[in-house]
Amino acid sequence: MEEYIGELWHRLISRAALREYAAAAITLDEVERSAGLLFRAFGGDPGLRIAPAADTRHGGRLRLFQRMAHSGDKLALAARDAETLHLPARLALFPEKALNRDLYLWLTALAARTDERNDDWLAANQRATLAVLADYPGLEPRYARLVAATLAQRIDPARLPADEAARENAIRRALQAPGSVGELPPLTRKKALSIQPVPLWLRPLPEIELKSASGKKQHESAEGGGTEQKGGDKRYQAERTDMPENESPFVLMFRAESLLSWAEYVKVNRDTEEDPDPDIASKAESMDKLTLARDNKAVASKVRFDLDLPSAAEDDVPIGEGIPLPEWDWKRRRMKPDWCRLQTMEARHAPPTPLPEHLHVAARRLRSQFAALASAKRWQKNQPEGEELDIETCVRAFADRRAGHAGSMPAYLSRTQQVRDLSCLLLADLSLSTDAGIADDMRVIDAIRDGMLLFAEALSACGDSFAMYGFSSLKRGNIRFHEIKPFDAVYDSACRGRIAAIRPGYYTRMGAAIRRATALLEEQSQAQRLLLILSDGKPTDIDAYEGRYAIEDTRMSLVEARRAGIQPFCLTIDREGADYLPHLFGPGGFLVLRHPEELARRLPLLYSQLTRPG
């Protein structure tokens, strides 16, 4: 009975302490796309991604029921760093959905006028607010409604101690008249609490700086200080700390009397590995911060064999000694010369293979369609001389003369030989993620194989110059560039065998692969050169090639390709590609396939659209 009454009491108090309106809740997933567009339209950094914010302990004063229920001390507040714009995963602060949605859009606009510098929190938010309202006066009514709704929910200064009330009044003035408050009044009591959280402002994100034992500083940002829990959207605050030092390793770091005696020892039947704690998720949620430490010792991967690498007898055959390539360091804004090494590979076991039976019908249809694109004689209108009169031009000239205007001279139709002066390089992502299943007995790599086969069948019918390569990587010194069909090779059963021999593995260092593909396309003499990229996810590798660094290096490689007169285009099956692909390829430079099994059918049709004259 006591437990039952306690549970009822806990539910009652928790419900009374809850300061949100569930019926008016808006989630980040609902506004993520519009928030991203708005952030970039307001001049925000196009390379930033939007992610859920972590719950943080704000330290402000709580209401009576919140203190009784021990709740409300944590809140997800918006923030931004050099790589990420952190927004609350769910907003239910106001009783109206429109207000919660407006709060998301306001925080996005505010973040576009704020940088990641460790600036004064109060001054930076007021300065950003003034900038947004000055540039976009149409937001003033929405901001006024948000301020009124926010002030109505804050604790009345009359109910606060004098020093906390002075700070609360300063916050209210700063919200109502941005720029009017230079600094907050000081706290005079020892037990004074911090200010209440301000949901209309961005909270500061101090840079995490770790000094190793060697004295070198290492800057690390685990998604802006947060660590994501596997299997959910929950995020946590993280901090770095040093490993506890024990100069005498033979001296125990605990009290000897805490050891079990022989009488207390009980022999149990246990596995070699400890059982995972089933309650570890709830324990993590109760922690304010997840503390990470570095012991400056070599990890096991430094000395163990890398089982991911095939043996020399089974691996593909390397061609040449490898090619050194640069890489773009976006933080230092400079190129790191010869930072990567790309190795061209050729399949070792790739016997000649006929076209698979399930592709015969589609290949026959594509060959007939693309054969019409081959070089042929076509009529050219409005020519000074030719085989026939251009009737349309003659009628127009006669009508102009009847209207009193000087009509143009009669023109002719002439048949001229048109040649498709273009070349295309198809670059396929062969990373380990392409081993994922997408349909019954079908994987992403299978869809890529079928797409490359139909692509080759179509282009061989129209006579366009084309090449096909695949890529994967394992750190910067082992970028594998698989040669499937060079420009000077003929598409035949041997080429189909190399397509059938491709297999997924390793990671996606896309920048180096694009630079090598650009160099190959620069050697071609055609006027139009197309780089068509097949991908299934973000560029990434295990040696810190991830996040903003990988995105910016890939973007710089695409900029270099455009400067060389090459047109890049990306066809991806990554459903989250719309978040980062506009920053890489531009608004019209990519296509996201919602159904990966359509890759084989859409790839040749996409090529015909990209190479259409005019």
Q: pLDDT by residue (tens digit) across 536-563? A: 888 999 988 988 899 999 999 999 999 9
Mean pLDDT of the region 367-395: 72
Does 418 score more than 70 pLDDT?
A: no
Residue range 48-75, pLDDT digits in tens: 888 888 777 766 677 665 666 566 667 7
The more confidently predicted of residues 395 and 116 is 395
Give the span between the Cα atoms of 220 and 224, in whole angstroms: 9
Do the Cβ atoms of 127 and 110 come closer than 8 Å? no
**Residue 292: per-residue pLDDT:** 58
Q: Name beta bridge partners: 345.
A: 318, 482
**Residue 237: per-residue pLDDT:** 59
**Residue 404: per-residue pLDDT:** 74
Mean pLDDT of the region 596-604: 83
- The chain-wide mean pLDDT, for the chain, equals 78
Query: Measuring CA to CA, which residue among 608, 561, 599, 601 is closest to residue 428?
Result: 599
**Residue 275: per-residue pLDDT:** 53
Do the Cβ atoms of 84 and 19 come closer than 8 Å? no
Do the Cβ atoms of 106 and 141 come closer than 8 Å? no
Residue whose structure tokens are 């000074």: 384
Q: How far apart are the first and last CA of the chain?
A: 81
Share of the chain above pLDDT 70, in %: 73
Give the span between the Cα atoms of 288 and 57, in whole angstroms: 7
Give, in degrees to the nearest 5, the angle at Cα 12 between 10 and 15. Answer: 105
Does 401 score more than 60 pLDDT?
A: yes
Q: Are strands 388-389 and 412-418 parallel, antiparallel or unpaired?
A: antiparallel
**Residue 555: per-residue pLDDT:** 94
Please state which CATH class domain 344-369+420-610 belongs to: alpha beta
Tokens of 117: 């510098």
Mean pLDDT of the region 522-533: 91
Give, in degrees to the nearest 5, the angle at Cα 151 between 146 and 157. Answer: 165
Threshold 0.85, pTM exceeds = no
Residue range 454-502, pLDDT digits in tens: 999 988 888 889 999 999 999 999 999 999 999 999 999 999 999 999 9
Q: How far is CA 235 from CA 230, 238, 240, 515, in A?
A: 10, 10, 16, 36
Does 417 score more than 70 pLDDT?
A: no
Task: Give the chain's length.
Answer: 614
Tell me which of 112-121, 445-454, 455-464 is least confident: 112-121
**Residue 576: per-residue pLDDT:** 76
Give the span between the Cα atoms of 562 and 558, in whole angstroms: 6
Does 208 score more than 50 pLDDT?
A: no
Any residues with CB less than 8 A from the CB of 264 and at least 6 apart, and which? none
Tokens of 305: 């064999």
| Banded model confidence at residue 213, pLDDT cuts 50, 70, 90 | very low
Helix (H) or strand (E) holding 114: none
**Residue 3: per-residue pLDDT:** 75
Does 374 score more than 90 pLDDT?
A: no
Q: How far is CA 48 from CA 61, 82, 142, 432, in A?
A: 33, 7, 25, 26
**Residue 230: per-residue pLDDT:** 39
Give the span between the Cα atoms of 554 and 444, in whole angstroms: 22
**Residue 264: per-residue pLDDT:** 47
Neighbours of 71 (CB within 10 A): 15
**Residue 277: per-residue pLDDT:** 57
Do the Cβ atoms of 397 and 439 come closer than 8 Å? no
**Residue 298: per-residue pLDDT:** 46
The more confidently predicted of residues 574 and 476 is 476
Q: How far is CA 258 from CA 80, 246, 251, in A?
A: 46, 19, 15
Sequence ranges of the domains in the chain: 2-176, 344-369+420-610, 376-418
Q: How far is CA 508 from CA 301, 346, 442, 502, in A?
A: 20, 18, 21, 15
**Residue 357: per-residue pLDDT:** 92
**Residue 562: per-residue pLDDT:** 95
Does 217 score more than 50 pLDDT?
A: no
**Residue 16: per-residue pLDDT:** 59
| Banded model confidence at residue 424, pLDDT cuts 50, 70, 90 | very high
Give the span between the Cα atoms of 364 and 102, in whole angstroms: 54
Query: Measuring CA to CA, which residue among 201, 351, 227, 248 is closest to residue 291?
Result: 227
Mean pLDDT of the region 41-46: 84
Count H helices and E strands in the chain, helices first.
16, 25
Tokens of 543: 């040696």
Does 335 score more than 50 pLDDT?
A: yes
